[in-house]
Structure 1
């Protein structure tokens, strides 16, 4: 039992590193466009299927974007939720079904982020479709990027951000609030999903930055993942929000100034 407890953190770290390696290999390979906005007809193998099978394009787009998003979440967000998983492991260590409960906790957490990804990708796709139909919007697309960066900056000062962050920074209190130990499988899933919802509430604005700079940028993912992990897992993490907000608002202003000069 003690050996398994000691192995949990190394295995968790290995899982996270594996997710980052898989993400890097995907981004460096011939199918890197799956992480970004792709024209499916241009992709090898998939393009032929899309042209031959009616409706295949939408199905493959949904599946591949979902796989890419979940891989990004595994790489970026699992490290931020490690205190929750470790605390839950210690609280359920005497149960015979502890592995199943841990799996349900992780699935619940991933479900919350998958739902957010569905909404974010839908909104992003709608913006791109609108831009394709509007030459003026396409020419001034930098305004959307500037607005997203400014929104992310302003959100760092919001009370909602800090309430959600407090929930994420107190895993033991969060578990005791949501765990009754009666219907353990259902409670494990709902616990993970509830924590995921607060995690989304804390980090959604920062995650939207990936849509402003490109969802396939592994460098940006690393930077954002490090910031969110520091916010949640270190004592000084709560102090990051306001300086980060100022930096993002300044960045947004810089985007506007630079493009105004060009225009």
Structure 2
């Protein structure tokens, strides 16, 4: 299947097995330019990790599952710090998500060929991160709700955290999770359908990045809720959640892997409810 003006390059890496991400070339087949692109994205991710560590407020390294404590004045995140939270959130998403979308970006470059300019790839990445930036609005509201719960003290905070784990674990088994994960792992249909707008303008590429980001958000929102409950700006918890997301997007048997993660979250949530 081809789209006018955009023909996938033949050769190794573009014929994956039945469980492999479609449209993403195997790393062993990447050209030097594609390796350079991957290195650039990973370098940006590394920089984002460093910036996140520098920007993160100390009290945001814990959540209702890990001993969240209000700052003076009874607020973990003052309303005036909303812009700062959103900025840190976007940087944090870049740190966590750029490694996971690196194979996708390499696949996009290969499928678009010479029409995959630097501006096109930058617009795709910006569209992807824009989705997660908007998600930060809800993330801020959730953290504020967790903060109010933590201020009440008692076992309620642990119980709320346990419910977050149970919801996240249950979501791993839902058809919506699988539907989003398939499209997040296999962007070939998205690329072929929107190849012309992607290659035709930066706005078109941005729009496709938004679509891909939407699939990723649908796939990962529950894991992000776990991060909010564990410590939204904790580098350790960020690394753990980012590892889970990357594994889900790259391993040969994503359904089995997702169910294993779901089972672990369900077991942990049930244990917290039984023995808070």
Superposed displacement of residue 120, structure 1: 2.2
Superposed displacement of residue 128, structure 1: 3.1
Q: Deviations over 1:56-90 (max 9, x none)?
A: x634x122101211121111111111122112222
Higher-RCO chain (CA-CA 8 Å, sequence separation at least 6): 2
User: Are residues 1:173 and 2:189 paired?
Assistant: yes
Q: Following the alignment from structure 2 to structure 1, what is the Cα–Cα distance between the partners of residues 38 and 145? A: 41
- Could you tell me which residue of structure 2 aligns to residue 47 of structure 1? none
On the 8 A contact 2:60/2:232 being kept in 1, the answer is no
User: Are residues 1:66 and 2:86 paired?
Assistant: yes
Q: CA RMSD in A?
A: 2.7
Structure 1 or 2: more helix by fraction: 1
User: Are residues 1:32 and 2:49 paired?
Assistant: no
Superposed displacement of residue 39, structure 1: 4.1
Match of 2:139 among 115, 120, 127: 120
Match of 1:88 among 108, 123, 126: 108
- Could you tell me which residue of structure 1 aligns to residue 51 of structure 2? 22
Superposed displacement of residue 250, structure 1: 0.6
User: Are residues 1:101 and 2:130 paired?
Assistant: no
SS in 2 for 1:120: helix
On the 8 A contact 1:24/1:218 being kept in 2, the answer is yes
Structure 1 residues not aligned, in runs of 5+:
43-56
Kindly tell me: are residues 90 and 246 of structure 1, through their superposed partners in 2, closer, same or farther at Cα, counting changes over 3 Å? same
State the number of aligned residues.
Answer: 237
SS in 2 for 1:77: helix
Q: Following the alignment from structure 1 to structure 2, what is the Cα–Cα distance between the partners of residues 162 and 223? A: 21
User: Are residues 1:8 and 2:29 paired?
Assistant: no
Kindly tell me: are residues 130 and 254 of structure 1, through their superposed partners in 2, closer, same or farther at Cα, counting changes over 3 Å? closer
Q: Following the alignment from structure 2 to structure 1, what is the Cα–Cα distance between the partners of residues 34 and 166? A: 43
- Could you tell me which residue of structure 1 aligns to residue 95 of structure 2? 75
Superposed displacement of residue 21, structure 1: 2.9
SS in 2 for 1:150: helix
Query: Superposed, which structure 2 residues align to 1:196-207 within 5 Å?
Result: 196-207=213-224
On the 8 A contact 1:108/1:189 being kept in 2, the answer is yes
Superposed displacement of residue 131, structure 1: 6.0
Q: Normalising by structure 2, what TM-score?
A: 0.76
Superposed displacement of residue 129, structure 1: 3.7
Superposed displacement of residue 117, structure 1: 1.6
